[in-house]
Structure 1
Amino acid sequence: MTDLGNARLAAIAPSAIRAIHDRRRPTSIDLGMGQPTLHPDIEPFEAALAWVRDHGSPYAPPGGLPELREAAARIYGGHFHAAPSHAAVLNGSQEGIFLAIKALCDPARDHVLITDPAYLSYARCCELEGVAHRAVPLSAHDGFALHADALLNAVTPNTKLIIIGSPGNPTAAVMDERELRRLARGLIERKGPPIYVVVDEVYRELTFTGKPYPSLLDHYPNSIGLQSLSKSCALTGLRLGFFFGPTAVVDAVTRAHSLIMLNVNQFAQRVALEILRDPQRLRAHHPWYVAQRQVLLDAAGRNGLRIIEPQGSFYSLAALPEAWSSSEAAADHLLERYDVVTIPGAIFGGKAEGYLRLSWVAEPAALTRGIERIAEFCASAPG
């Protein structure tokens, strides 16, 4: 790699998920990418286009359209961040991960806690900013559940930020409300500077627990919520997300955002506004995912494939036979010999070694064939 002078960036490898995805063949069964296969609702695009016909495509305020911030905060801000001043519109929730670290952390002294396994951008964004991060290990024995005590016990005087995903990627685990309350109480009672908790909630509309979604934003004033329309509404390419938090944090994030992006494009914001004006659109795809999840569970059960039952998102972790000590080697073998794209668990942290992440959004027949091939691969492993 050419040395351009930024050692931090040079040390960050290109996306391993994208590299695997780019190796797929036209015949491949793709259970790799976190890309919804449903088409989005067209009506919000038509409404946004009508607005552009009448008004053009001007700059938008750096923090987002006021009416969009108001609608987003009302729906997703929870008890502590329901006012528009607690919300900002960003270019996807991914930008929110980076800007939270940039706005809150001093590389000279602050640490960030991240779970293992976790969405790999959490650690990469820390590394890009030169901020130290420490892993809090999760356990496969309870489905990689998030426990408040594990997070609280990992806190040090240098901890400034905790980043969690619920539902998690790749774990598909939803943090229990009792654990959320315990985490909030423990952080509130702790002496010293506040510790902020970023909760990546982009899959919150895709939960299957049979209970209302529990959000830390209802329990902890120094919570920061990240939200997006990418997964719930099949709008990954629109690149529109929301950031919720204390007003001082939102103001700092907005200043940084305006220096990098100026603003989120007007058309995308108008599409989002039309969606949020009818919040039922946010759950319109949920029945399809419920059916897909059942296809996954049925196929895995019939074929003897051990998977962790997903509580949310559209992922599941499939256990590899002990003979396969490397999930990366297993994923390579599956692609080359069985023509199935999967993601090695090790990409997300050492605790997910021995697993493959499956994205179960493929057409049902293809999903079933993919599970059958993975099960055949696992059954063929030596002793």
Structure 2
Amino acid sequence: MTNLGNARLAAIAPSAIRAIHDRRRPTSIDLGMGQPTLHPDIEPFEAALAWVRDHGSPYAPPGGLPELREAAARIYGGHFHAAPSNAAVLNGSQEGIFLAIKALCEPARDHVLITDPAYLSYARCCELEGVAHRAVPLSAHDGFALHADALLNAVTPNTKLIIIGSPGNPTAAVMDERELRRLARGLIERKGPPIYVVVDEVYRELTFTGKPYPSLLDHYPNSIGLQSLSKSCALTGLRLGFFFGPTAVVDAVTRAHSLIMLNVNQFAQRVALEILRDPQRLRAHHPWYVAQRQVLLDAAGRNGLRIIEPQGSFYSLAALPEAWSNSEAAADHLLERYDVVTIPGAIFG
């Protein structure tokens, strides 16, 4: 990228996922982008449009509609962040990643811990802010499971923030309840300034463990939750997300959000409010993903493809056949030879 003056921005490489996506053809079988193919429920849009007919489309409060914050905190805030003051409405959970780093980290002093592999934006948002980040390696041998000890052992006096995804992108791993408790206990017992943990939970409605979803927001007061309707409700284009955390953190994030975005558009918030009034809508697509997951597992078994069984999300990591030395070459071959779009695992770490 051309350096127009901001060297940090210029140093961030363009999205490799987007570059692969742009190479797809009309005939391609697209297994690349994290884009649901299901259509969303139209009723919430109709209800939002009816509201606009009656009230127009005014600005919304910087932190979001009070009734939407209340509903979101009640459903997703967990034990520690269940009040409306613990919630903010943002332009997608992606904004929450960036604003958590901006609000909490001093570039000259603080470090951020990120798992490897992980969603690319965690590291890129750190780089954009000039905040150092360190990788905590995960292992394919145990399904890229998140272990509390690995995270706690990586903490240094400069660690201010830990960012994890559960279910993970691209790992599809869900952090075990016992590991969450160990992580919370270890951070609480640690002396010094608080360490905040951002948990990207945008795939929590798409889990396949057969158990209730375990959330760090139930166990750690300095947790920060990111949530969205993009994946669970096939609303990636709505660009609406939620940020949950201690009130002081939410206030700081809201101030930054108001300077950058002013607010989230009224119509999107009205759609979200209608969805959260009937929380069963959040799981409406889950049975379809369960069936798709089983199709994948059956096909992999029949064809000798080694994959890590997804515990959540709609991703799966497959082991490279011995003939291939790297995932980039394999993905390129699948696209050029078979017209199948995939994402190389190496992109994520």
Deviations 1:199-220 (A, max 9, x none): 0000000000000000000000
- Give the secondary structure class of the aligned counterpart of 2:317: strand
Deviations 1:294-324 (A, max 9, x none): 1111111111111000000000001102332
Report how far residue 2 of structure 1 moved: 2.5
Q: Distance in 2 between matches of 1:330 and 1:50?
A: 50
Report how far residue 326 of structure 1 moved: 1.6
Deviations 1:348-383 (A, max 9, x none): 0xxxxxxxxxxxxxxxxxxxxxxxxxxxxxxxxxx9
Deviations 1:264-314 (A, max 9, x none): 000000000000000000001100111110111111111111100000000
- Give the secondary structure class of the aligned counterpart of 1:3: coil
Q: Distance in 2 between matches of 1:164 and 1:84?
A: 24
- Give the secondary structure class of the aligned counterpart of 2:267: helix
- Give the secondary structure class of the aligned counterpart of 2:88: strand
Report how far residue 192 of structure 1 moved: 0.1
Deviations 1:162-190 (A, max 9, x none): 00000000000000000000000000000
- Once the two structures are superposed, the pairs formed by residues 162-201 of structure 1 within 5 Å of their partners are 162-201=162-201
Report how far residue 114 of structure 1 moved: 0.2
Q: Tell me the C-alpha RMSD between the 2 structures.
A: 1.5
Deviations 1:116-154 (A, max 9, x none): 000010000000000000000000000000000000000
- Give the secondary structure class of the aligned counterpart of 1:198: strand
Tell me which residue corresponds to 2:5.
Answer: 5
- Give the secondary structure class of the aligned counterpart of 2:280: helix
Structure 2 unaligned spans of 5+: none
- TM-score after normalising by structure 2: 0.99
Q: Distance in 2 between matches of 1:5 and 1:322?
A: 45
- Give the secondary structure class of the aligned counterpart of 2:260: helix
Q: Distance in 1 between matches of 2:205 and 2:109?
A: 36
- Give the secondary structure class of the aligned counterpart of 1:106: coil
Report how far residue 72 of structure 1 moved: 0.1
Report how far residue 9 of structure 1 moved: 0.4
Q: Distance in 2 between matches of 1:89 and 1:8?
A: 28
Tell me which residue corresponds to 2:113.
Answer: 113
- Give the secondary structure class of the aligned counterpart of 2:297: helix
Tell me which residue corresponds to 1:127.
Answer: 127
Q: Distance in 2 between matches of 1:40 and 1:83?
A: 28
Report how far residue 338 of structure 1 moved: 1.3
Tell me which residue corresponds to 2:155.
Answer: 155
Report how far residue 13 of structure 1 moved: 1.0
- Once the two structures are superposed, the pairs formed by residues 143-292 of structure 1 within 5 Å of their partners are 143-292=143-292
Report how far residue 52 of structure 1 moved: 0.2
Tell me which residue corresponds to 1:103.
Answer: 103
Tell me which residue corresponds to 1:57.
Answer: 57
Deviations 1:66-90 (A, max 9, x none): 0000000000000000000000000
Structure 1 unaligned spans of 5+: 349-382
Q: Distance in 1 between matches of 2:228 and 2:305?
A: 32
Of 99-108 and 1-10, deviating more is 1-10
Q: Distance in 2 between matches of 1:300 and 1:278?
A: 36
Aligned residues: 349
Tell me which residue corresponds to 2:69.
Answer: 69
Q: Distance in 1 between matches of 2:331 and 2:19?
A: 12
Report how far residue 3 of structure 1 moved: 2.2
- Give the secondary structure class of the aligned counterpart of 1:343: coil
Of 111-120 and 328-337, deviating more is 328-337
Report how far residue 330 of structure 1 moved: 1.2
Q: Percent identity?
A: 99
Report how far residue 329 of structure 1 moved: 1.3
Report how far residue 333 of structure 1 moved: 1.1
Q: Distance in 2 between matches of 1:48 and 1:118?
A: 35
Q: Distance in 1 between matches of 2:50 and 2:265?
A: 16
- Give the secondary structure class of the aligned counterpart of 1:225: strand
Q: Distance in 2 between matches of 1:319 and 1:136?
A: 21
Q: Distance in 1 between matches of 2:88 and 2:63?
A: 5
Q: Distance in 1 between matches of 2:303 and 2:24?
A: 24
